[in-house]
Amino acid sequence: MTMAFPDHFGGPVVASLYYEIRVAGTLPPEALLDFERLSSSVQRVETVVHGPLQDQAALYGLLARLETFGVQVLEVRRLQDESAPHE
């Protein structure tokens, strides 16, 4: 479920949900091309992708994209806003 908030122009703004996705090995850089708000870091033998996604449809789109690259997804976690790393 996403929350909508009014923006400065009166229209609704959809709040993003923050996710952390762990995959085996190193993620090819082009796997995240359509997901510009996500970032990744390599930790030992896995890559951690984290960042906001607009809704579950976006999450499923990312998972489908990772599957096209043959990436093994190890874990998907939805984080609370206060758990998200601050930029």
Domain ranges of the chain: 14-81
- Which helix (H) or strand (E) segment holds residue 22: the answer is strand 17-24
Q: pLDDT digits over 41-65, tens only?
A: 887 778 889 999 999 999 999 999 9
Q: Is the pLDDT of residue 17 over 60?
A: yes
pLDDT average, residue stretch 15-33: 85
Contact 38, 76 (CB under 8 A): no
- Give the mean pLDDT of the chain: 79
**Integer angstrom CA distances of residue 40 from 11, 28, 72:** 32, 10, 15
What CATH number does the domain located at 14-81 have?
3.30.70.260
